[in-house]
Structure 1
Amino acid sequence: MKIKKLSKSNLYLWTGLRKQLWPAPSETANESDGEEIIRSAHLVSFIALDDDDKGLGFADASIRNDYVNGCSDSPVAFLEGIFVTPSCRGRGVAKQLIDAVQSWGLEKGCKELASDTALDNVTSQKVHNALGFKETEKVVFFKKELTKSF
């Protein structure tokens, strides 16, 4: 298995994998996101490939300079998403992707790697724990529509 940084030459593999985790509202949305990641200095994505260059999974990350829940430092490397194809789970693919993200974060001057997941996504919580993440807090987000009549 090898881990490659997202590039124009492997964008098609990444979009196929990413669509499995986040079906985009349009056919070109993931491709546009990928092109932005390739151009950006504060975004990255890594792709896990088998010996035949078949995509096994990916990890998207960013550098966040604003407050990140549970972190005490800034900037923070933030895992925006991770996905491993169902047939490849439990084989160390996610660990190798996280190792690549950690190395990238260190290169960018980060001392912490953070992530989040939904309260009801117990599988993701278990994966995060297995990858060495420690739970820092749980939050419930609220919103209220603003109208002129109070």
Structure 2
Amino acid sequence: MLIRPAAPRDLDAWAALRAALWPGDTIGDHRAELAEALASEGDSAAFVAEASDRLIVGFIEASLRHDYVNGCETSPVAFVEGLYVRPEFRKTGVGLALCDAVADWGRGRGCSELASDALADNLESHAFHQAIGFEETERVVYFRKPL
């Protein structure tokens, strides 16, 4: 398994995996957002996991967050914005390898903490995070009121 920075040649496969993680947007919407992100130079990074047959089996997207990150004590914090591994490749070390790539990226930018989040009902994600060394810091419920 090769973990490498995402590249323009990955857009179609990456967008399809992103749509599996976040099905509220179309593959085309994801592709357009990714193309724009690859073209910009910001405080973000993306890595893909490429199998020996060149199939993209997972991705991770991260950013440097300079604002307060729940449960963290430093700034900036390397933050996992999205992580997805095809179901048939889960529990094989791909997710850990993707997180390790982001951790290295964050350390290279002066970060001493890696943070992430997951929806309250995503117990599979909670278990994954704990299995690779994350610790739960707090739970938050967000509210809104239209004005």
Give the TM interval when normalised to the shorter protein.
Answer: over 0.9
Q: Deviations over 1:101-128 (max 9, x none)?
A: 0011111111111011111111110011
Partner of 2:82: 81
For normalisation by structure 2, the TM-score amounts to: 0.94
| In 2, Cα distance between equivalents of 1:17 and 1:123 | 17
Q: Quote the offset at 1:24 in angstroms.
A: 4.5
SS at match of 2:8: coil
Partner of residue 36, structure 2: 36
Amino acid at match of 1:80: E
Summarize deviations over 1:8-56 as a string: whole Å, max 9, x none.
1222221121111112434421112212331233111111010111011
CA contact (8 A) 1:80 1:115 kept: yes
Q: Is the 8 A contact 1:65 1:75 kept in 2?
A: yes
What is the distance in 1 between the residues matched to 2:139 and 2:122? 12
Unaligned runs of 5+ in 1: none
- Partner Cα separation in structure 1 for residue 42 and residue 75 of structure 2: 16
Runs (5+) with no aligned partner, structure 2: none
TM-score, normalization by structure 1 = 0.92
Deviation at 1:129, TM superposition (A): 0.3
Distance 1:36 1:107 in 2: 24
Query: 1:130-141 alignment to 2 at 5 Å?
Result: 130-141=131-142
- Give the aligned residue type for 2:25: P
Supply the AA of the counterpart residue of 1:125. H
Q: CA offsets per residue over residues 40-85 of structure 1, 9 Å max, x none?
A: 3311111101011101111111110000000000000000111110
Secondary structure class of the residue paired with 1:98: helix
Question: Separation in 2 of the partners of 1:33 and 1:106?
Answer: 26
Matched pairs, number: 146
Q: Give the distance between the partners of 1:81 and 1:49, measured in 2 at CA.
A: 17
Identity of aligned residues (%): 44
Distance 1:87 1:27, change over 3 A: closer
Q: Give the structure with higher Rg (CA).
A: 1
Cα separation, partners in 2 of 1:26 and 1:16, compared to 1, 3 Å: closer
CA distance 1:31–1:98, shift in 2 (3 Å): same
Give SS of 2:15's match: helix
Give the direction of change, closer, same or farther, for the CA distance of 1:26–1:90 in structure 2 (3 Å limit). closer
- Tell me the C-alpha RMSD between the 2 structures: 1.2
Q: Match for residue 107 of structure 1?
A: 108
Aligned-pair CA distance for 1:6 = 1.2
Closer/same/farther in 2, CA of residues 41 and 14 from structure 1, 3 Å limit: same
